[in-house]
Chain A
Amino acid sequence: MPETVIKVENADKKFSKSLKHMMLYGMQDITRNVLGMEAATGRLREGEFKAVDNISFELKRGETLGIIGPNGSGKTTLLKMLNGIFMPDKGKIKIRGRVGALIQIGAGFHPMLTGRENIYVNGAILGMGRKEIDRKFDSIVDFADIGDFLDAPVKHYSSGMYVRLGFAVAVHCQPDILLIDEILAVGDREFNIKCYQKMHQIRKSGVSIVLVSHNEYVIREQTLNCLYLKDGRARFLGPSEEGISLYIKEGLQERSDRDTAGRGLAAGEGLKEKAELLPVKFFDKDFNEISFIESGGELNIMLECIIREKIKNPIFGVNFYADSGFMYCANSDYENVDFKDLPPGKVRVRINIPRFHIPADNYLCSAIVAEGDVNNLLDWHNMVYRFVVGRAKNARGSVKLPTKWEAEV
């Protein structure tokens, strides 16, 4: 039974909102401690807020925990508490073993000193003695891959070299628990691959990892369980896949709510007079209404439209937008689908996509009805519909495509 290396019990962390309160409470707390009294950390004083609110979890040796959540949800604060930088204001945090952190790369680096000298400084700050650094020196330099620049002042390093050197030292600390905070967004692709490989190696040797990331793919790949933080509170603690789905769903909900308020009705003038689109609906192959589909599955989209005046050469379209941009559109004009002129009344248009091979992502959808030309919009629902495309079963990447293999000997 692997032993527990981290145990967090109902931990809280408060911060002050204003500088004035920060200084005042700071002095107050320090004075109270000096006089042998406990600082009043239990309750929230005026101007304070909880960055981390009643968090509990346990991590065993060799396990990896992901921490996800929107910006400002307390992820980095929690990580710093695990690192012993911030003390909890309530509750307990129990740590067993040496903790290493990849939170700030190159701590203690001085631009005037050479790479060699900075390895010793950084190493000392991270808790490595001189003999230990001497032993690992060659390995560090090798990993950092900075070549002849080892004896040049660090201020001449490119940002990539800087990160590589810092990471090389940090990784050689050989901690029992490793805390990582999205710094891997800093290096180039090759370096990132090196980092992930090293992390994989480390994990095999029984190191427990706590990983904070926005990147759901990384969390999915690297962690078994995750903690989803929202406003400092634990929204979910459990299997990563579930946590991520919840995070996506809630994130998308918020985003589309915001967008609807801001953008959705921006192009309001002159619309809905000749024609009005009713809410668009998505269906699977059996015509069950869905808001989620696996990439590659069969998708049916239903557009219902009220026609008030006769429309000549109507055009219908549905667009899918991901964070990365405009992904896909089904548009009767581009696909040379002709509709007869439509008399006043109601029309129902069904779009069938037998194999919806678009990358797994969270999409926002728009729908249009136009006359004669796409620019002549009659109605427009702009990014109103949330639609999630999940990874195809047994797919490694975001998309699974029908592939034929042949071999010749």
Chain B
Amino acid sequence: MDYIVYEPDRYLKLGIRIWPKMFKELVQSRELIWRLFIRNWSARYKQAALGYLWALIMPFVAIGTFMFLNKAGILNIASTGIPYPLFALIGLAVWQLFSTGIISGCNSIVSAGGMISKINFPLEALVFSSVAQSIFEFLIKFGLIIVFFFVFKFVPSWGIIFFPLALIPVLILTLGLSLILSLVNGVLRDTVNIVSLLTTFLMFLTPVLYPISAGKSVFFKLNPLSPLITAPRDLIVYGHIKEPIDFFIVSVLSFLLFFVSWRVFYLAKTKIPERL
């Protein structure tokens, strides 16, 4: 059996060979990721009266509010092509995959607390499993979307087959940002609060609850999250992505960000237990 060597700048010394190592470690920790996810998930909902239904409450409240505001004439939401609640729900589901993903991902290292400085286990597993939480919440909302299909007698276009694929970029972006943010949050503890505020604010700058044509503002167009939200929705509604080039560019950028973040995380993770 070979030695494992612990020395300063250990991961740096590996150079390019670090990538296969990273992948291997990730695959090896898949069970741990699953276990941590189950642990947080069941713990969260065990004593709650409404249990898993809490995942649905926020969307209902948000959609309900906007519908009311629209009806009351306070907000004027342009036509969306499909019944508004459905439109909003799909947008919200995808958005929250991102927003709750990065918030819980950002906080994942810090909330593990004492465990990190006492036991040796792969820290990425914490980040990945907290993003897994938001994936599951998304699935619950997707269940509701299916219900809405029936309620509004809406037949989704055949493009829905590609819907899961179209979600990959936003997921990758979430993971990438979570990895970086979890590091920053370890050192500057209010990062998670800032992220929380920013995502709330950012949601209104993204065509989540309204279509992209709704805003004359250039923000909608320039916001990199816009294509990631609208593309999956377009697939369901129209059967094709309306702005494929934008979507492609942002997807590539997301993947790049993810790989860079992952790498940085690996280099930094040896320093985390000491600094926490």
| Residues of A that sit less than 8 Å from B by CB | 7, 15, 22-23, 26-27, 29-30, 33-34, 36, 38-39, 41-42, 80-81, 83-97, 99, 101, 103-104, 107-108, 110, 112-113, 117, 120-121, 124-127, 129-130
Residues of B within 8 A of A95 (CB): 3-6
Closest to A104 in B: B118
Does B274 contact A15, Cβ atoms closer than 8 Å? yes
| Residues of B that sit less than 8 Å from A by CB | 1-12, 31-32, 35-36, 38-40, 42-43, 46-47, 114-121, 183, 187-188, 264, 267-268, 270-271, 273-275
The minimal Cβ–Cβ distance linking A330 to chain B, given in whole angstroms, is 49
Q: Chain B contact residues: over half helix, strand or loop, or mixed?
A: helix
Does A90 contact B39, Cβ atoms closer than 8 Å? no
A30-B271, A34-B268, A124-B36 known; A107 vs B118 contact (CB < 8 Å): yes
Does A127 contact B121, Cβ atoms closer than 8 Å? yes
Residues of B within 8 A of A26 (CB): 187, 271, 274-275
What are 26 inter-chain pairs, A to B, with CB distance below 8 A?
A: A26-B187, A27-B187, A30-B267, A33-B12, A33-B268, A34-B267, A34-B268, A39-B8, A85-B118, A86-B274, A87-B6, A87-B270, A88-B6, A92-B7, A93-B7, A95-B4, A103-B118, A108-B39, A110-B43, A117-B39, A121-B38, A121-B39, A124-B31, A124-B36, A126-B119, A127-B121
Does B31 contact A93, Cβ atoms closer than 8 Å? no
What's the A-B contact tally at a CB cutoff of 8 Å? 132
Does B35 contact A85, Cβ atoms closer than 8 Å? no
Instruction: Give Cα A59–Cα B2 distance, bound, in whole angstroms.
Output: 15
Instruction: Give Cα A87–Cα B38 distance, bound, in whole angstroms.
Output: 30
Does A101 contact B119, Cβ atoms closer than 8 Å? yes
Does A99 contact B39, Cβ atoms closer than 8 Å? no
Does A125 contact B7, Cβ atoms closer than 8 Å? no
A30-B267, A84-B120 known; A112 vs B8 contact (CB < 8 Å): no
Instruction: Give Cα A30–Cα B268 distance, bound, in whole angstroms.
Output: 5
Closest to A76 in B: B118
Known: A84-B120, A85-B118. 4 other contacts (CB 8 A): A39-B9, A80-B273, A85-B273, A130-B31
Does B8 contact A96, Cβ atoms closer than 8 Å? no
Residues of B within 8 A of A30 (CB): 183, 264, 267-268, 271
Residues of B within 8 A of A91 (CB): 7
Residues of B within 8 A of A36 (CB): 12
Closest to A38 in B: B9
Instruction: Give Cα A36–Cα B6 distance, bound, in whole angstroms.
Output: 18
Residues of A within 8 A of B43 (CB): 110, 112-113
The minimal Cβ–Cβ distance linking A118 to chain B, given in whole angstroms, is 8
Does B1 contact A110, Cβ atoms closer than 8 Å? no
Instruction: Give Cα A7–Cα B7 distance, bound, in whole angstroms.
Output: 12
The minimal Cβ–Cβ distance linking A2 to chain B, given in whole angstroms, is 13
